[in-house]
Amino acid sequence: VQLQASGGGLVQAGGSLRLSCAASGSIDSINNMGWYRQAPGKQRDLVADISSGGRLNYADSVKGRFTISRDNAENTVYLQMNSLKPEDTAVYYCKAIVVVRGLRFEYQYWGQGTLVTVSS
């Protein structure tokens, strides 16, 4: 199973970006999908996640500005980021909890990370 993230880049404060993360491989089903971020010198923190049933969870710092969504048919999760701030600058990682085809258990997979830089 592989997760391929895309959509990062450089944007001015107040701007928008949309991140995408597509899962591929021997996937039976995907449970929770989410986005995390890690700024230089800091730990990796949850930004938002979404369950297979559509239940949403956001970090307080992004509520009202970011929207997470998923396309179950395409095994893809999105993060629409609006009203970006310089403090949103970080490497953004997607994560998926996957039931691999032919196996009984869930496994956690991470994407490679995509850099978001917000200039002031």
Statement: residue 23 has pLDDT above 90: yes
pLDDT of residue 104: 83
Per-residue pLDDT tens for 51-109?
A: 999 999 999 999 999 999 999 999 999 999 999 999 999 999 999 999 999 888 899 99
Contacts of 40 (CB under 8 A, 6+ apart): none
Cα–Cα nearest to 65, from 84, 42, 43: 84
Per-residue pLDDT tens for 32-57?
A: 999 999 999 999 999 999 999 999 99
Phi-psi group of 40: left, alpha or beta (phi > 0 → left; psi -120 to 50 → alpha; rest → beta): beta
Phi then psi dihedrals of residue 87, to 5 deg: -70, -5
The amino acid at residue 11 is V
Cα–Cα nearest to 95, from 82, 107, 80: 107
3: which 2 tokens? 């997760």
